[in-house]
Structure 1
Amino acid sequence: WWFRWAAVVTLVLGLLIIGVTENYMQDFMSETSTYGLPHNSAIFVGMIFGITMAANVWMVIWKNQKIVLANAANVLAGGEANPDAPAAGRRAVLASRQNMVFSLSMLFYMVGASHFFGPLYDGQDAGKAWTFVIISLVIGAILELNCLGKLGGTATTNKLLWPYENHKNAMYASVALWVVLYILGEIFLKA
């Protein structure tokens, strides 16, 4: 159960940090305040990835794991197997590995934004910062829709699901996503 509650604690603490930071939402991505635009846009992308990961844990992984666990308990008790259990297990695995894909970029942007998007990046205009955010979120949305089976289904024959077929592929995809987003950050966020 720890991973579900860790997702909640992380989400709540992130929202609290936003709430206690002076003028955070007032200055966030404002045309009138160019100071901190790269930092704010990087943190925003990390926040959206983190929120998506928490949603995956609670609305996809846990929901489907309950089906798999109930099936296992039923079979151990001598009952018949639930025919929906394999598909539920597959959906849980795909969402879990998508969380792995998002995790490196989320960590980089949430933790590293103040370190990697400092004075060299200040003075950027809001248009470029929003372009970075929109492109990053479109990439994230495509990946999320893919793991949910909205782009070709969840069958093992769907070649679009290669990042989720094993842990190694998920780690490679995580690094690839981070590299793509880092390059986008260099293009759109550097002054």
Structure 2
Amino acid sequence: MAAFLSNLRNTMIVSFIIALVIIAGYRMHYGSFDAIFWQAVFRWLHVIAGIMWIGLLWYFNFVQTRKMPEIPAELKPAVSKYIAPEALFWFRWSAAFTVLMGLILAWDRGYIVQALTLGATEGFSAPGHSFIGLGMWLGLIMAFNVWFIIWPAQKISLGLVDSDADAKAAAGVRGMVASRINTFLSIPMLVCMTMNQTIFG
């Protein structure tokens, strides 16, 4: 068992196989591959990617950024050269996949236009569309920050692209501010995403 669990790839492959068996069980008992079934699948993919995205966002803000000043200078390259680039890979792609699955889910449920307009297209008569739309826009802003502010800044500050010390310092601040904005936005975004399904269905 220890040998199996020590290999992350094999652990995740088996975990996804079990998940697919469970999904097949849902399909067998539900009896259809209709829109409702696919909404359930897209919601699962949206949530699983979102957990990785927000988990890494909170790791960066609650752990790495806070503790880096306390790490001795000779040990910092271990984080900046090995841990941070790997974490940023999963961070940015989980953000993209979360947004993609969320948009597919909204389209499949038939409210993507209503949500993206915050309910304006229906005279704000469906508050569920306004609330989920608010959550979607917060998520879109956060994903924009990931790809167009945080990741370019981190490439500079981590030395993944050539730059001088001043540029690295400025990029580090720029990336930290955008990441902190995302942490700030993540709590209200999650309120919209979690409460909407329960309150409005």
TM-score (norm: length of structure 1): 0.51
1:41-190 correspondence to structure 2 within 5 Å: 41-70=130-159, 81-117=164-200
One-letter amino acid of the counterpart of residue 70, structure 1? G
Instruction: Select the residue among 9, 17, 38 that pairs with 2:127.
Output: 38
| Contact 2:114/2:133 (8 A) holds in 1 | no
Q: 1:69 to 1:12 in 2, by over 3 A?
A: same
Cα separation, 1, equivalents of 2:197 and 2:169: 43
* Pairwise CA RMSD: 2.5
Deviation for aligned residue 1:61: 0.4
Q: 1:114 to 1:65 in 2, by over 3 A?
A: same
| Contact 1:27/1:33 (8 A) holds in 2 | no
How high is the sequence identity, in percent, across the aligned residues? 38
Cα separation, 2, equivalents of 1:33 and 1:90: 39
1:48-89 alpha-carbon deviations (Å, 9 max, x no partner): 000000000000000000001117x87xxxxx9432111100
Q: 1:68 to 1:20 in 2, by over 3 A?
A: same
Cα separation, 2, equivalents of 1:64 and 1:81: 13
SS state at 1:83 partner: helix
| Contact 2:103/2:112 (8 A) holds in 1 | no
Deviation for aligned residue 1:38: 1.2
Alignment-derived partner of residue 74 in structure 2: none
Deviation for aligned residue 1:114: 2.6
SS state at 1:91 partner: helix
1:15-51 alpha-carbon deviations (Å, 9 max, x no partner): 10111113x24766244783xx111100000000000
- Structure with the bigger RCO (C-alpha within 8 Å, sep 6+) is 1
Structure 2 alignment gaps of length 5 or more: 1-88
The answer to whether residue 7 in structure 2 is matched with residue 7 in structure 1 is no
The answer to whether residue 105 in structure 2 is matched with residue 17 in structure 1 is yes
| Equivalent pairs, count | 109
| Contact 2:95/2:146 (8 A) holds in 1 | yes
| Contact 1:64/1:88 (8 A) holds in 2 | yes
TM-score (norm: length of structure 2): 0.48
Cα separation, 2, equivalents of 1:25 and 1:68: 37
More helix by share: 2
